[in-house]
Structure 1
Amino acid sequence: MTPPANPVAAAEPPAWNMPGSLVLRLMAVAALVVVLASAASVWLVSRAAGQEAMRRVVGQQTDEVEVVARLLASKIEQSQKVLRTVAQGITPGMLDAPASLDWMLRQGLPAAGFFDALQVVRKDGELKLNIRAGQLAKASDLDPAERDALRRTLIDGKPVVSELIAGRTSDARIMFTLPLHSEEGTVLGVVAGALKLQSQGLLPQSMALPAREDSRLVVFTRDGTILSHTDPARIMGQVRDEPGLAPVFADWLRRAQPVVGRGSTEVLPDHIVSVAGMPLPQWFVARVSNSQALLAPLQGAQREAWWLAAAVIALGVLLLASVMVWMAQPLAQLCRSALQLLRRDARAVVEWPVSRGEVDTLVRVFDGLAQQKQQRDHLHTLVGGQFEAILEHSSVGIVITRHGVLEVVGRQASLMLGYADGELQGRPARALYGSDADYARLGERVQAAFAAHGAFDGDVCFVRKDGSPVWARVQGRTVRSQALGASTVWMLEDITAARAAQYQQAWELTHDALTQLHNRSAFEHRLALLLAERSTRARGPASAGDSDGADAGEDGVVLFLDLDHFTLVNDVAGHDAGDDVLRHVARLIETQVRQVGWSARLGGDEFAVVLPGCTLARGQAVAEQLRATVQAWEPSYQGRSFTLGVSIGLVVLDAHLHDVASVLYAADMACYDAKRAGRNRVETRHARDMTSSGRMALGPY
């Protein structure tokens, strides 16, 4: 007999399922909640209705004042645009011809009729034209505030929107000014236009309509002067006398808040006050409403909500038992289907019961788990692709090993070692060395470096596929990650050519064998060349009798470094450990300064660094970085950790230092100052302070 294709779907659930203990407990809890909800429903409904009504009133008023503020701001911008049109019609020649200027503003430019008054002032402050209500007026008719706005525009060359120029309510006005520029950008004069407060272009009477007994729309200035009001008699009055708005305005003045375009609403015991600002010209629009009158309809809504809530609660109590029993049926079927799915493959098709609540949630959980797995697979693929791109295009060789096996070999490393891409994958690391003895010796070096420094940094000789040697600077560090486990990442840089040069006789004569830095003789020779070049360059632009021309120049700095507590390493861990410390410190110094200068070992635990063309501030920063780097390194030898420091003396290569001996003496004295001041610090000396005392006369260093 053939089994059904989907055993889970084929299993017919019983027609009726007895609710389990969980459902019975839920029914008891739900009944208790309904009883408690009936006692709290009146309070909740009343509170919710009141909050909703208040939210809507606040939202409507806030939106209204923002819209009015934007409308008034657009009127201001439109007035400025009209004035700009008038200014474009005024040519430089008209400023000396009042008759043609008058004709142009009266007849030639229709836009000039937009303003209630127009003035044109020349750059020397002479009023060339003053038109008020279409008639010529005298210069003496100008208000002091109007004169001030014209003067500020002439001086600053910027447009101005004046404060309210007060007088009688019918004469209150706002002035707009605009500079007149020549083709070269200089200010030739100023054109100004004024609009009356109650004009159609600014604040017409119709703006405050329709009037409402329970609400007032007020426009006022920063100092509290009312510009527009639902009651015309209140225009030019003070906000401090407005019920409801006065305390809000007083609080705003106390906090000194900036004028912003966004609206805000405050609910007071008897009023709802919404205010929005206009940054230009710093006006405010406010809607003040009587909260008691606005919320009076809420009482009827609350009574209706009471009866509706009571009906819903009663119906809920009647239907609670039947609904809970009905909801338990798909839940029981869901549990059975989930148990059966757990015993099958995750890709099996299951006919889940169609229901809401727990059933739908669990189905979405299963889908979510499947999607999460797909996302993890996609992320793994994406990260793998990025890793492959790094291996493919990196300028240095990248190798990852684990337990002596080459797990990952980058393209650059394969080319360096003479292998094709992927050819070294999975092979033992021993394949890269000429003999087992070489591989064993390198293993001892790596283990010692990791024990002392936590990382490996050194030169290693590998063997290419064709048997030829290749030298590389190798940096290695152990990483522990979920993807790679306990692996070691190696960075390889081909130094075969540089290594060959190291063994030439010239290199041996100029470099220290232990640290591979410049030795003392090479350092002195190179510094002497730098000083000679500086001296030649300083004499070039200066006259023969000018001895001070180079004194102010700075052609770099010299650092003198002396390790602190180095003898302790030699005495406790032995000279081999001391040599290792010197080698590592040399690498630290070279890494820090090779991009901006060069370094040398002068002898023992003394080093020197030259930073050509470096300022004093930059030199001090490099010296401090060197000091911090050495202090942060804690070597470990024979099971004991050591803390080192370095005292650094700094001297600027100025005109007072003429030869190598004087430079080294000055730097050594600065280092001596650092030692005497407590060690592990940077001290700076200026050569002019030493030469004044005659200390440079001691002869060669």
Structure 2
Amino acid sequence: MILVAWLAIWVAGGAALWVVTRASGQEAVRHVVRQQTDEVEVVARLLAGKIEQSQKVLRMVSGGVTPAMLDESLLLEGWLHQGMPAVRFFDALQVARADGEIGIHLRAGKLERASAVDPAERDALRRTLVDGKPLVIEHVAGRSGEARVLFTMPVHREDGTVMGAVLGAMRLQSQGLLPPSMALPSREDSRLMVFTRDGTILAHSNPGRILGHVRDEPGVASVHAAWRGQGHAVAGRASSEVTADHVVSVAGMPLPQWFVGRVSDAPPLFAPLEGAQREAAAVVGGVVAVAMVLVALAMAALAQPLAQLRHWAPRLLQGQVPEPWPRGRGEVNALVGVFRGLGERAALRTQEAAQLAQQFQAILDCASVGIIITRSGMLEVVGRQACEMLGYSPGSLQGRPARLLYASDAEYALIGQRVRHEFEAHHVFDGDVRFMRRDGSALWARVQGRSVVPGQVAGGTVWILEDLTATREAQQEQAWQATHDPLTQLLHRDAFDQRLRALLAERSTRPRTQEGLDAGDDPPCDGVVLFLDIDHFTVVNDVAGHDAGDDVLRHVARMIESQVRRIGWAARLGGDEFAVVLPGCSPSRGLAVAEQLRATVAEWEPSYGGRSFTLGVSIGLVVLDATLQDVPSVLYAADMACYDAKRAGRNRVELRRAREATASGRMALGPA
């Protein structure tokens, strides 16, 4: 007892420590990740705002440029210097005419020659003149100090045509874009960077890394590679990833196609948490040790009088009288007397139980029917005949759950409901039940059940099983042969008519409404029927023989069955004609299924006698709407649609609605 108490205290203390440290650790990680994610997203939004602000300034410049200014450089220069913020906002500013000629080139607010325009700036102006759209381009030069961002804006005439373009260039490290203050807070174990879609670093906490590549950045390299591999677009939302060595947070800027990322080293970041967890472990360990000592002392004092009784009590129950018997006061003496009486009665009951067990086992071994006793869903007793019926060795089912004898949980639950209903109504059960043998095969048995204690199912239930498997299989075989085609194993014509008739009759019992339907609207649809005729089948029969033709019919039947078994049913109507019914299927879905069937048959090229044959299938589809009332009308409509498919060139699908055919005068649907 002391050891159990110690173990319980140790387990409880360890579990409490584990829960607290794990919860605190997870919360700390979530806090750090959330803080870093928010920080990166804020920086990305600020930088995106700066880019949008730069575009707005450039838009103001393009909006004030007139055709006269483009023709006269002096007018344009004077207008730009009269209070325009763009001259001071951008490091360089150019205005180009529609023919690509540079009208004015300002750098640091001073006029320069047009020939001094950088080729990248000239290319950006040309693209804007051609596309008529503003651009944001990162221009990476040979040295980090020359890295720039180019903004372009088209100049439109009143009729919307492009008459020029304006370009503003800014250094990446300027106050207008990526000032050093954006890298705060600065920590040795954390790095803030801005990089392009292809991985070029535009800004970094370490200036020496500018214009490098993120593949050389620990932590962010794997994140960027995974993003490139997935082919996702640049999204504005921030996300974070925690690894054993780093905490990586990345936020995208969709407009310039840039990313803002922060990489923090995990060990220094979580070092304070680990120290706090070690201190908590030490405190909890001390408390647990003290508690274990106190509990041990208390329980030792209480348990000593019972220790000897525990030692001798099992021997007393086995009929052995201890000499000398331990004596004590109060409860110990009372327990001694109780145990002596229990020992005598236990010996008598053991003898009687052994006799009953021998008699009961003889009944189980000699019975010609299967006998099973269950209690609370468990198999308490299983007779020899029942074990043989179920394919188990004698005694192997004792103590196993009754669920083992059924194919699925759903079937076991259904049988349970049926048994409860029968017992509530008649206090007995008598019916046919399907079990599952050990090898997975089915066993049908007539089962009779009765509670061990009349009226009390909780006291156990006796079941008697009589094997009916052979009888059931014979009945099912006769029923199957009466409704199926022996060659293709599909329903034959009579069974198809009967099943389709039942579907139409069931449809007619449901209420229908025509409210809201105009004259051109389709009537409500209860499914579709496909009529299939194999193209060029007679060629196989004539050239390869009827055995080959039968093989074609069997193979086509298997292809049809595999395509429609989950959504409908198929039948062979005769010869090389088949039919498929898809209840509740829309016309568009029916056309998709029919086209799949046609493609499957067309792809198959059978070979008989060294010769390959090309087959096809013409399919007619008719919609089961209110105008089709009986089986002959449905089949006639489907046959006519199939005829249209053959006449249109074979190996195709044709859809005909009943009222279309009626309007054309080709058939009269419904009862006469």
Shorter-chain TM-score bucket reads: 0.3 to 0.5
Higher relative contact order (CA 8 A, sep 6+): 1
TM-score by length of 1: 0.43
